[in-house]
Structure 1
Amino acid sequence: MTTAEEKKVIGEQFQLRMDQGELMNCMRCGFCLPACPTYIESGYQEEHSPRGRLALMKAVTDGEIEPDEDVERSLDMCLGCRACEPVCPAGVNYGHLLEEARDTIQQNKKHSAPVKAARNLAFKQLFPHENRMQTLTGLLGFYQRSGIQSLFHKTRLNKLLPDNLATMEKVLPNVPRKKEMKNRPSFVEAESRAVKRVAFFSGCLMDTMFMETNDATIKLLKLADCEIVIPDSQACCGALHGHSGEKAGAAELAKRNIEAFEETGADYIITNAGGCGAFLVEYDHLLKDDPEWADRAKQFTDKIKDITSILVELDFHRTHTLALSEQIVTYQDSCHLRNVMKTADAPRKLLHAMENIDFREMEKADSCCGSAGIYNIVESEMSMKILDTKMKHTKATQAATIVTANPGCLLQMKLGIEREGLSESVRAVHIVDLLLEAVEV
């Protein structure tokens, strides 16, 4: 529980750190309400809407209320999907305000020993260190290959886990061996004459747990006649830090990445994970007050492009035959890819170009699936409500293949498929893997 002294300090820090002008931009019009999953799934509670959260932030900043547990709970319940931003007539940068508020609270309160240990482990000891990520995911791979996972299921020990975690354990991808994770390319030549020189942001989870998708991304870029640089010194994007009240850690990771990519001479920096790309493309905001890094961050963000955007730009869907077996396909937007990177048309153009498929747009494809980083773990109840609504819209399309463009969304949709008992007839796949499947058929 936050003490009176901590509340006082947090209130003072809100006055110093929160952008008063940005808070004042909110006109309380309510256009954001229908776009907010937590507002809808909470039974239309104002404190779980963007407008309500902005009102709470402003009230704390103005000294009208204390930054108590109710305020923190409201902010924690937010997915950070930023669906409120495209529909806001005033253009309020809600995501920036949310991250600033969370960081202000987390950095000025005393955490319990278990929470402090968990945050230290995740934000300082694990995600910033590629070798430790490889070791951890390598252990997961050993668990899958050694027969331990099979035994875990046969003895029904998995039933001891909460339902959503037990299902999530079941849908995790097959993890490569640590040796494979360490043996990664740093440069790949174009298939023929190079038309673009690109640098690939490989990410932390993407280059370990989802390494096959990264390999598929590199193959597609090669087929699109790009020469590809993959800097060895790149790091985690910092999104988890930035969304969880660890902005200083996020800034340090941003600086590492900017340095890693500055010397590549690339036309673009390519990402294949909506969540990572959205954080990378806002490094200029993260480092705007750092005179040494602000310009360098802007040059970095100007080059960020999602894999689907570069493929469309290079007419990949016109110069290559894309064909699959006959099937119904639907697409679930990655919130951050759509709302922050403004990329929604490119994935659909690529899907529409595939032969033999019946593409069906699902209702509210632009609404969050409930994954939101680790939200589906820390806010399981709300996450599952959102997922259940998403699966209702998905099932209405009768799709056999659900496509998305972010690893968290992919796992969440696989979780939804399992929860609905559809694993024998429906699959979820990253768009990159589906494209490679289509071009190699």
Structure 2
Amino acid sequence: MSEQLKERLSYDRTIDCVQCGYCLPACPTYETMEKETHSPRGRINLIKMVAEGKAAVEELKEPIEKCLGCMACTVVCPTNVQYGELLESAKTVMEEETGKPRPQRWMESFLYKEFFPSSKWMDFLGNAAWLYQKTGIQKAAGHFGLLKRISEPLGQMESVLPAMPPPKLRKQRANRYVRMRPAKAKVGFFRGCIMDSVFFESNENTLELLLRSGAEIVIPEQQTCCGALHGHSGKKEEATELAKRNIEAFEEENFDYIVNNAGGCGARLIEYATLFEEGTTWHKRALQFTHRVKDISEVLVEMDGLIFNKSLDVAVTYQPSCHLRNVQKVTNEPIDLLKRIPGLTLKELDRPEFCCGSAGVYNIVNYEEAMDILDVKMKDVCQTGPDRIITSNPGCLLQMKLGVEREGKSGVMDSVHIVDLLMEADPLPK
């Protein structure tokens, strides 16, 4: 097999895996699918075999596509195997080597190059969803089960979408905010694509929390999609171009923090430097960018500018985003913030590290496998018995809402983004 393929598959990284098996208990797909090929060490071994010419690229397809990319294996790995790099290298090779029908190539080109990176398309998506809800079409479609007949996964996700704000609210948002002079910190806000279109209210609450904490906020107009969906789909070239655009957008001003409120987006942002060769100008610029990237929970704890004025008599459990926990390494700050809310009872999950099965678009393209994983998660949630499940990522939020419905707990239990819960507790500046 050519040395070029070995390099493309990050072959040297596969040797770091000593096949010890520490990753097995941490891997959700190994637990639910009960196959060695669906474990981290099994996938690494398969990548190694393909690089050595002992297996065909096509044999990577199912094991790699069924991986959640939750990175739970990296937390427990005793030899620090760079599993994320191996996973994306395999996906890139699969993308380049596997032929696709022309309609599929056209649709993917539109979605990845035009739709997700465009703020205009994202606004259109949010406004169209508002119209869909406001006119009663959603209610009628739900009554007749129209979307579920077309696609069960899309129908399920559509049923748990949050209420959309009217288009005028999107138009009213400014690009710069400040209430306190001098400001405690200057923040560049990364609004995200799906986060801003579908969870606009959570983004607005994030801005309000930062303002009440004493921050000056700038929302760079030229920012775009973080590129996570592109990277996870093997589209490395497109992911790299999006990284360059975001680095340039946030270089326009000197920020203390670049803040995001979506675990998946934040994980991609802090990995930008890995997209460029070490020593290059872009690598240096990416490092300067990533050093300032912070999750909203980190910034709120560091600024320490809020007192929560309203008591919330609810029991909650925190479902950590895999990418926030395993890639960004943010674990304590969300818990710290929840504990500051008066009246709130925090019930910890028995296995908080276990993925919910969302994983970007995994729960759409691998619906049955995602539901098996979600059922394991919901068993833990139901045993814990909270009123609300607190999340820190939009995909997790929808997935947990779906889990509540699957368990017949609607009206008894709900899923809420942490920033929305914090705003409900009426935070006031110290």
Q: TM-score, normalised by structure 1?
A: 0.93
Report if aligned partners of 2:187, 2:257 keep a CA contact under 8 Å in 1: yes
Whole-angstrom CA distance in 2 between matches of 1:283 and 1:200: 17
Report if aligned partners of 1:190, 1:224 keep a CA contact under 8 Å in 2: no
Decide which of 94, 97, 106 is 1:105's aligned counterpart.
Answer: 94
Whole-angstrom CA distance in 2 between matches of 1:190 and 1:62: 60
With over 3 angstroms needed to count, the CA separation of the structure-2 counterparts of 1:248 and 1:344, relative to structure 1, is: same
RMSD: 1.7
**Structure 1, unaligned stretches of length 5 or more?**
1-7
Match of 1:379 in 2: 366
Decide which of 356, 366, 373 is 1:369's aligned counterpart.
Answer: 356
Report if aligned partners of 2:188, 2:218 keep a CA contact under 8 Å in 1: yes
Report if aligned partners of 1:400, 1:426 keep a CA contact under 8 Å in 2: yes
Q: Identity over the aligned pairs, expressed in percent?
A: 46
Superposed CA offset, 1:188-217 (max 9, x none): 104454111111111111111111001000
Aligned pairs (5 A) from 1:5-404:
13-43=4-34, 45-68=35-58, 70-191=59-180, 193-288=182-277, 291-316=280-305, 319-404=306-391
Whole-angstrom CA distance in 1 between matches of 2:283 and 2:151: 44
**120-129 or 231-240, which deviates more:** 120-129
Report if aligned partners of 1:332, 1:404 keep a CA contact under 8 Å in 2: yes
Residue 50 of structure 2 aligns with an amino acid whose one-letter code is V
Whole-angstrom CA distance in 2 between matches of 1:14 and 1:147: 53
- 1:12 positional shift: 6.4
Residue 129 of structure 1 aligns with an amino acid whose one-letter code is S
Residue 312 of structure 2 aligns with an amino acid whose one-letter code is S
Whole-angstrom CA distance in 2 between matches of 1:57 and 1:398: 41
Report if aligned partners of 1:375, 1:383 keep a CA contact under 8 Å in 2: yes
**Structure 2, unaligned stretches of length 5 or more?**
none
Superposed CA offset, 1:212-267 (max 9, x none): 00100000001111111110111010000001011111111100100000122111
Match of 1:228, SS state, is strand
Report if aligned partners of 2:189, 2:259 keep a CA contact under 8 Å in 1: yes
Whole-angstrom CA distance in 2 between matches of 1:254 and 1:290: 17
Match of 2:277, SS state, is coil
Decide which of 406, 419, 422 is 1:435's aligned counterpart.
Answer: 422
Superposed CA offset, 1:156-202 (max 9, x none): 43452444432321110122344433443211104454111111111
Report if aligned partners of 1:402, 1:428 keep a CA contact under 8 Å in 2: yes
Q: TM-score, normalised by structure 2?
A: 0.96
Whole-angstrom CA distance in 1 between matches of 2:259 and 2:400: 24
Give the number of aligned pairs. 428
Whole-angstrom CA distance in 2 between matches of 1:36 and 1:333: 16
Whole-angstrom CA distance in 2 between matches of 1:346 and 1:93: 25
Whole-angstrom CA distance in 2 between matches of 1:111 and 1:289: 33
